[in-house]
Amino acid sequence: MKAMRLIEPAEISKHPLQMQEIPKPQPGPDQIRISVSVCGVCHTDLHTVEGELNLPALPLTPGHQIVGVVDAVGEAVQRFSPGQRVGVAWLNETCGACYYCLNGQENLCRKAKFTGLNVDGGYGDYVIVDENFAFELPNALSDQEASPLLCAGIIGYRSLRLSGIQPEGRLGLYGFGASAHLAIQVARYWNCEVYVFTRSEEHQRHAEELGACWTGQAQESPSALLDAAITFAPAGWIVPLALDHLRPGGTLAINAIHMSPIPQLDYRKIYDERILRSVANFTRQDALEFLDLAARIPIHTTTELFPLNAANEVLQHLKKSDILGAAVLQVKEN
């Protein structure tokens, strides 16, 4: 099988991903093997490739927004059969026995493994995964449309929940890429007023098309104080500005697995019981709830499709915020 492999991390302009031929993986007793159709491209992939995350082992195949068809199943598998279309997301495995796993916080499991980081991901022809960490996908969405739901969509949904935003509330979104363009659709379904902060005029227009009532840059003040906000951009300097835009008692949720340092904060920015919190991974329950909601709204994804061998160039575009919506790699036709 072919796969785009990370041999050694490097700045993405140096093209660290290399196309290689590697053995086809074999499923264990509880695993399914998936013939990959498409794999979405995520900022986490960029952080992985550039070495900003701890990499347990190399070489590695990145990618964790995987859509494909079950190709083979282990002898103990019960949920899936060959020929079924499934998705694989970031959370790949948990211990199932720790405090966090037993209390609805498996996203915080200290022994968790993640697709495209601890195990090979979807920038290749085949992946294997435990059957309990694969998901059925809405039939109405094509492979290309469904792919961004599996990380950008699910983590955006968890961010909305952790921000505490309520129906008809005022919500701020900082950065408007793959995750935010899906989160805004959930927020508008909840009749929220959405204020979008992004420097890209093209992204501002996209936000307005999806229902934003106000767009501008992070340095600008919105027309009203916000009940909640989410930062999607991995830029720490945005945090103090975003706190200034929150009402007393509001919450700012940071949706980033890696970001630049947050500047020193004056205590007054969090006084009046403003809350600053991170968003770490997601649970399978988040995934099930969001995929069901995505089908009911229904969510419409904006995607740009690229061939697998263009992964380095696509990640460069992503780093420059040159992608409208989400980038998706076409691995092969199923």
- All CATH 3.90.180.10 domain ranges of the chain, comma separated, are 2-150+282-330
Segment 29-50 shows an average pLDDT of: 97
- Does this model's pTM top 0.85? My answer is yes
In 3-state terms the chain splits into helix, strand, coil percentages (rounded to 5) of 30, 25, 45
Q: Note the CATH architecture for domain 153-278.
A: 3-Layer(aba) Sandwich (3.40)
> Each residue of 173-204: pLDDT tens digit?
999 999 999 999 999 999 999 999 999 999 99
- Domain 2-150+282-330 is in which class? alpha beta
The band of 334, judged by pLDDT with boundaries at 50, 70 and 90, is low
Q: How far apart are CA 238 and CA 106, in angstroms?
A: 29
Asked if pLDDT for residue 236 goes beyond 90, the answer is: yes
> Each residue of 119-153: pLDDT tens digit?
999 999 999 999 999 999 989 899 999 999 999 99
Asked if pLDDT for residue 74 goes beyond 90, the answer is: yes
pLDDT at 330: 98
Report CA Rg, the chain. 19
The band of 333, judged by pLDDT with boundaries at 50, 70 and 90, is confident
Q: How far apart are CA 327 and CA 54, in angstroms?
A: 24
pLDDT at 67: 98
- All CATH 3.40.50.720 domain ranges of the chain, comma separated, are 153-278
> Each residue of 248-304: pLDDT tens digit?
999 999 999 999 999 999 999 999 999 999 999 999 999 999 999 999 999 999 999
Average pLDDT, the chain: 97
**Which residues, other chains included, contact 7 with Cβ-Cβ below 8 Å and sequence gap of 6+?**
16, 18, 58, 59
